Structure 1
Amino acid sequence: MTAITDDLPAQLIHAEHEGWDAVCRGDGGTFYLRAMTPDGVIIVEDSVIERDAAIAALDGQSWESYEMSEHRVVRLGDRAATLVYRVRAQRGEQIFERRLATTYVYSEGRWRVAVHQQTRIR
């Protein structure tokens, strides 16, 4: 069975919403423990965060709300794709606006996060 299907954008957008929903609940660390590949990383403006450090950083962190838009999927083969989108999240007066790219690989029967990158919107 081929992992890349016509409903791939819907699958990846759903997976990304699951991650944001987990972060909003304050259990992003638990979610990404299962959702990230063993060698997965998060890239932010000034560093690359290894999987274990990313999971620890997400544990207990939360946002009040988020909105995703401008979705685009780039297929990278039979078992990999990148979801690119814009997000706006809010926590109190703090606003987080970024363009994000999450590269997923199909592994162990599900889509898993291999690389997640955040780019500031100026």
Structure 2
Amino acid sequence: MLSAGYCSSCWWNLKSADFEFSARSNEKVTRGSQHFGVLTINSADDYLDSADDYLDSADDYLDSADDYLDSADDYLDSADDYLDSADDYLDSADDYLDSADDYLDSADALVKERSADGLRAADRYDGVGVT
């Protein structure tokens, strides 16, 4: 028969081996868990970087759209300036026509006045009378 001390020694060796196995297993599990934790953190960082890139791209797109709107606004302002210039040109042409009409009316009145005196309008300016 086995002595009680021998059995307790075996038991202790088995228990010690079980503790060592558990410790090694826990260490491997911990390392594996840490490894997956690092992978998760790296994956999350990559996701955040991708999200930042997407937001930067969206900001660039909005900036481009804003630039297009500014260009369109400048174009419309330019078109308004051209319309204002055209209106000013037409107003000047109307003033010129009014002035020409006034001149023709004055010339017509002068011709009628001189015709009533028996003189041609040109004679009045030349100082020459009709004989």
Q: TM-score, normalized by length of structure 2? A: 0.17
Return the structure number with greater strand share. 1
User: Highest relative contact order (Cα 8 Å, sep 6+), 1 or 2?
Assistant: 1
The structure with the greater share of residues assigned to helix is 2
TM-score, with structure 1 as normaliser: 0.17
